[in-house]
Amino acid sequence: MTQARWTLVIHGGSGSMERGRLSPDADAAGRAGLHAALVAGGKILSAGGDATDAVEAAVRVLEDDPAFNAGRGSVYTADGTIECDAAVMAGDTLAAGGVAGVTATRNPVSLARAVMERSPHVLLTGAGADAFSVEQGLEQAGPDWFATPERRRQLDEMLARPDGGFDSGMKYGTVGAVAVDAAGHVAAATSTGGLTAKRWGRVGDSPLIGAGTYADNRAAAISCTGAGEYFIRLGVAHEICARVRLAGETIEEAADGMIDALGDLGGKGGVIVVGPDGSGGWAFNTPGMYRGMISHDSAPEVAIYGDE
Ligand code: ASP
């Protein structure tokens, strides 16, 4: 009997992480979080489980980990609030769900999944999304759950800048997962607090289907991280799928091509990608990206810096 093939690729954000700039503790915390997420998602896939379940499970681990900018540990808006964005998409049916500007759901990725499976809609925002979360019985969390001193420090530092603060070139920490399961179905999920000192009400690429998140069994599953305004304008996640499906590019060529296009526009960031054939990888134009991969025939591997 041949072993069922599956692959899970995750990210914990792209950004200015260079060797020597992260403290040993931050380096170790990032790697431990990525490893735990790979194990959580890999367990589902190795048991023959579904790609959507696997990406949700992996992202939930990273949302609960304060080292990453999603769920607990999300960055602050300029007004000192926390507004989370998330999305999930299943490549076999093209079912998709997203939430933007949610404030009280412990795991925003699970709220995105509830939008996908238990509402007729694809994207819910703000108070309406928060209310839907309560109605659906998802676990609620207060501001103290999301708040971390390090994110507060980053906001204060940014607001103290003479140029007024907002800087999309800073270190990120958004999380995402893409998977292909033993049945050959792909899925993608992304979750983020967005960018430090963003305007309240600002929505990035992560919850927008086609921009930061996309999955299509005919092509690939993609989760993006980086300066969302550029990913939205390029429709990065959908275009990677379109290049594979219509132009015959490999997932690596399509991912590299879109990171080149992002750079040409002045944007920085990265993508993770899997194909229905079990191939998986990433591309980024920042010094580093928190990332990891596990598959039916390879143990969990994690990396942070560009030279790993
Ligand atoms: N793409 C996210 C956003 O723009 C941020 C990130 O990936 O770090 O909201």
CATH code: domain of residue 174: 3.60.20.30
Q: Across-strand partners of 274?
A: 221, 280
pLDDT digits (tens, 9 = 90+) for 129-143: 999 999 999 999 999
What is the full DSSP assignment across 33-95?
HHHHHHHHHHHHHHTT--HHHHHHHHHHHHHH-TTSSSSTTPPPBTTS---EEEEEEETTTTE
Lowest mean pLDDT among 17-21, 149-153, 211-215, 300-304: 17-21
pLDDT score, position 162: 72
Structural domain boundaries, residue 203 = 7-305
- List active site positions: 174
pLDDT band at 3 (very low <50, low <70, confident <90, very high): low
Structural domain contains residue 149: yes
Ligand 1 mutation pick, 205, 232, 233, 268, max ligand atoms within 8 A of CB: 205
Ligand 1 mutation pick, 83, 171, 192, max ligand atoms within 8 A of CB: 192
Structural domain contains residue 211: yes
81/78 Cα distance (integer angstroms):
8
Core vs surface per residue 252-277: b (16+ CB within 10 A) or e = eebbbbbbeebeeeebbbbbbbbbbe
Residues in the chain: 308
Contact (CB, 8 A) for 281 and 240: no
How far does residue 233's CA lie from ligand 1's centre (Å)? Answer: 13
Structural domain contains residue 53: yes
Structural domain contains residue 182: yes
What Å distances lie between residue 243 and 134, 186, 255, 257, CA to CA? 39, 17, 9, 9
Task: Count the domains in the chain.
Answer: 1
Q: How many CB atoms within 10 Å of residue 203?
A: 20
SS3 of 124, please? strand
pLDDT band at 1 (very low <50, low <70, confident <90, very high): very low
pLDDT digits (tens, 9 = 90+) for 108-160: 999 999 999 999 999 999 999 999 999 999 999 999 999 999 899 989 888 88
Structural domain contains residue 91: yes
How far does residue 131's CA lie from ligand 1's centre (Å)? Answer: 24
* Average pLDDT value over all residues in the chain: 94
Structural domain contains residue 1: no
pLDDT digits (tens, 9 = 90+) for 194-248: 999 999 999 999 999 999 999 999 999 999 999 999 999 999 999 999 999 999 9
Structural domain contains residue 2: no
Taking residues 54-75, report their average pLDDT: 97
Structural domain contains residue 243: yes
List residues near ligand 1 (CB under 6 A).
13, 69, 172, 174, 192, 194-195, 204-206, 212, 225-226, 228
Residue 4 DSSP one-character state? P
How far does residue 2's CA lie from ligand 1's centre (Å)? Answer: 39
Write the residue with the smallest CA distance to atom 4 of ligand 1: 228
pLDDT score, position 78: 92
Quote the radius of gyration of the chain (alpha carbons, Å): 17
Specify the pTM.
0.96
pLDDT band at 265 (very low <50, low <70, confident <90, very high): very high
